[in-house]
Structure 1
Amino acid sequence: MRFPVHVRGRSSMELGNGLATGVNVRLDATAIRDSPSVLRIGRHVQISESVHIGAIEKVVIGDHTLIASRVFISDHNCGNYQIPDAASSLDIPPAERPLSSMPVRIGCKVWLGEQVCILPGVTIGDGALVGANSVIAHDIASNSIAAGNPASVIRVFDASTQTWKGI
């Protein structure tokens, strides 16, 4: 690990062997439910500089995943904007709205490019690649490349030819 690394809630984390981090990585894990670990990072994960991962319910990052600089991953928001929710009204300051959360799952051998943002409730399948500056608001299938804001799949891996095919 390259320091400084900012860790809050270490007792709510499982960090795999071979974890490597750049400077100014921020890992925040605060369990709001009865859960022994809300942030689980697999084996041989590489996290570059200035990455922020925030978890209150569940963020899982699979083995051998590569995370570029300035990536943001969170399983929660201040307020719930998916359903009608009086507690998330614009009359209430954002910091006073109740936290809502949905688990985030990032598979094994995933590559997240520079400045990717992963929103609550997202699953990224094994072997997926996410292009720089992408905002991931929906699930990304295994063995695919996604890019954009919001991100969409632009290529998939064809195992029979061992090549990436455009969509």
Structure 2
Amino acid sequence: MTLLLDGHAARAWQGGPSFTRRNRLYRLAWSITWLLLARWTPPPLRGWRRLLLRLFGAQVAPTANVYASARIWSPANLSIADHAAIGPGAIVYSMAPTTIGAYAVISQRAHLCAGTHDIEDPGFQLVARPIAIGARAWIAAEAFVGPGVTVGEGAVLGARGCAMRDLAPWTVYRGNPATPLRHRNIRFEPAA
């Protein structure tokens, strides 16, 4: 079946899954594992949650913290550095590589979304682009970081802010779309 869009013939979506059977089975196994073995765990069992993430392919530093109520789409695409945290109810839609730098904080119910759809494609195909959260950055409560965004070192995306473009280092952003508010005056010396 073909459609006519802007005078050009385009193939209509014929249905079918966007991901391979293997990918879907992996994510099903991951979801069941997290639900049964991690979702109910109290905060002190962070080491157990890190182990489960590693077993499914995540790169997780020994000091990282992932809350039990966080939702991670694919651990295989996730990398979390030292002392970084993914807070309660945060959603990490890691369709593409998603990197969280050292001491970065993803606050409660924040959303890192590495996937979208190509709205110009008649098949509305999925598009996945990596997300990078810099060291000491903070994604505040219920904020949204879109596909392909790099959040610079020490940057802050305020509560319910929406970043669809890169955020400069050591800058505070707010709103939808995220706009710079001011520079952060704090700097951290590298650990010896």
TM-score, scaled to structure 2: 0.66
Alignment coverage as a number of residue pairs: 141
Show the counterpart of 1:127: 154
In 2: Cα distance, 1:100 partner to 1:12 partner:
22
Letter paired with 1:25: A
Show the counterpart of 2:122: 86
In 1: Cα distance, 2:56 partner to 2:68 partner:
21
Alignment partner of 1:127: what SS? coil
Q: Structure 1 vs Structure 2: percent identity of aligned residues?
A: 22
2:113 is equivalent to residue 74 of structure 1: yes
Show the counterpart of 2:182: 155
* Offset of residue 8 of structure 1: 7.8
Say which of 47, 52, 73 aligns to 1:28. 73
2:41 is equivalent to residue 15 of structure 1: no
2:103 is equivalent to residue 64 of structure 1: yes
Unaligned runs of 5+ in 1: 31-36, 89-97, 163-167
In 1: Cα distance, 2:40 partner to 2:84 partner:
18
Letter paired with 1:133: R
Unaligned runs of 5+ in 2: 1-37, 42-48, 188-192
2:142 is equivalent to residue 104 of structure 1: no
* Offset of residue 15 of structure 1: 1.1
Against the structure 1 CA distance between its residues 86 and 59, is the aligned structure 2 distance closer, same or farther, given a 3 Å change threshold?
A: same
Q: Are the equivalent residues in 2 in contact too, given 1:59–1:74 (CA < 8 A)?
A: no
Letter paired with 1:18: T
Greater RCO (Cα-Cα under 8 Å, separation 6 or more): 1
Alignment partner of 2:108: what SS? coil
- Bigger helix share: 2
Q: Are the equivalent residues in 2 in contact too, given 1:19–1:46 (CA < 8 A)?
A: yes
Alignment partner of 2:123: what SS? helix
Show the counterpart of 1:55: 94
- Bigger strand share: 1
Structure 1 residue runs of 4 or more that deviate by more than 4 Å after TM superposition: 5-10
* Offset of residue 11 of structure 1: 2.8
